[in-house]
């Protein structure tokens, strides 16, 4: 069994492999096999990448993510503007049934709800909005309802 120090070095190495991530932006602590990630990144995609990199290290039991998403620059996205942008993105993707998905935005936290026919549509909805400026997290509560005949 690896020590917490060894696990911390493994997590650091895994995160370093993610080209867009910088260790200076993320603090890594390991205690009893539980990793806690803190810091600030500029997109939800980077937050998710750091979390997945840590989860993939053999010997890690749990990953606690306390990484904040703070977009770079001066662009401030209001919740209403972000919701409008998400809806526009959905409309431009053939694989997302935008008329079946409800979007709620609260302080950059996105909640998706609705009923669709295919799982790939649910995954696509999260994927296409994850990199938008202002998105801090995505809670995808969309349900897949396939009728079996």
Q: Are residues 61 and 113 in the same domain?
A: no
Q: Could you say which of 12, 40, 69 is where a domain stops? A: 69
Residue 61: inside a domain: yes
Supply the CATH number for residue 98's domain.
3.30.1340.30
The per-residue pLDDT for 147 is 65
- What pLDDT, on a 0 to 100 scale, did the predictor assign at position 76? 65
pTM of the entire predicted model: 0.65
Is the residue at 149 inside a domain? no
* Dist CA 138 CA 123 (whole Å): 11
Domain stop point among 69, 100, 125: 69
Query: How high is the mean pLDDT in each 10-residue block of the chain (149 residues)?
Result: 88 84 81 91 86 92 89 71 91 91 94 94 92 89 80
What single-letter DSSP state applies at residue 5?
A: H
Task: Write down which residue in 19, 40, 69 finishes a domain.
Answer: 69
Asked if 68 and 134 touch (Cβ cutoff 8 Å), the reply is no
Domain that holds residue 33: 4-69
């Amino acid at each position: 069994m690896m020590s917490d120090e060894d696990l911390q070095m493994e997590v650091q190495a895994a995160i370093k492999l993610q080209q867009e991530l910088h260790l200076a932006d993320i603090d890594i602590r390991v205690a009893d096999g539980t990793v806690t990630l803190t810091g600030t990144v500029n997109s939800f995609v980077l937050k998710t990448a750091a979390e997945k990199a840590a989860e993939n290290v053999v010997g890690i039991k749990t990953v606690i993510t306390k990484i904040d998403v703070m977009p770079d620059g001066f662009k401030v996205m209001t919740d209403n503007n972000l919701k409008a942008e998400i809806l526009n993105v959905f409309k431009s993707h053939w694989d997302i049934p935008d008329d079946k998905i409800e979007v709620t935005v609260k302080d950059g936290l996105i909640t998706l709800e609705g009923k669709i026919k295919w799982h790939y549509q649910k995954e696509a909805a999260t994927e296409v909005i994850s990199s938008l400026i202002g998105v801090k997290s995505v809670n995808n509560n969309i349900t897949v309802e396939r009728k079996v005949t």
